[in-house]
C-alpha cells in the first residue's frame, strides 16, 4: 500500500531497506550504508559462531536470513560458521511485498588452526 504524505504532497512507497546491521564479531567492509548491498567480513578460526541483528527503516519490513529464518527488526540470529567462505543473505521485503532489497554478507572464517599445527611441527 502506498502512503500519501499531505505535508510534502509526495506518494511514498513502503521501504525494504535496513537502517543498520550489527555483528557480534568482526566488521563490515565497506562500512554499512543502506545503498551498499554486498559486504565482506574476515574472522579468525576461533570464531565459530556469529550473532547478527539489524534494524529496518520501516518497522513493518521483514527479512529472511538465508531464505530460511523469518526475522523482524531488532531480532538477533546466531549463525554457525564453517571454515572458509560463508555466504549470508538478508532478503528484506516491504509490508506490501512490492519492494525487496537483498543484502549479502560474505564472511570468511580463517583456517588458522591448521597453520598453527604446521608451525608447531616446524619448530
Q: Over the stretch 35-85, which tens digit does the pLDDT of each residue have? A: 899 999 999 999 999 999 999 988 888 899 998 888 888 899 999 999 999
Confidence of residue 5 (pLDDT cuts 50, 70, 90): very low
DSSP assignment, residue 82?
Answer: P
Top CATH class of 14-122 equals mainly beta
Cα→Cα distances 99→24, 29, 92, 107, Å: 28, 25, 8, 26
What residue spans define the domains of the chain? 14-122
Amino acid at each position: 500500500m502506498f502512503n500519501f504524505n499531505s505535508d510534502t504532497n509526495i506518494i511514498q512507497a513502503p521501504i525494504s531497506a535496513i537502517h543498520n546491521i550489527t555483528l557480534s564479531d568482526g566488521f563490515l567492509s565497506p562500512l554499512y550504508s543502506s545503498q551498499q548491498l554486498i559486504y565482506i567480513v574476515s574472522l579468525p578460526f576461533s570464531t565459530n559462531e556469529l550473532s547478527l541483528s539489524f534494524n529496518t527503516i520501516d518497522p513493518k519490513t521483514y527479512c529472511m536470513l538465508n531464505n530460511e529464518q523469518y526475522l523482524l527488526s531488532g531480532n538477533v540470529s546466531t549463525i554457525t560458521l564453517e571454515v572458509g567462505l560463508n555466504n549470508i543473505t538478508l532478503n528484506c521485503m516491504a509490508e506490501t511485498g512490492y519492494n525487496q532489497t537483498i543484502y549479502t554478507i560474505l564472511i570468511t572464517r580463517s583456517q588458522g588452526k591448521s597453520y598453527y599445527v604446521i608451525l608447531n611441527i616446524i619448530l
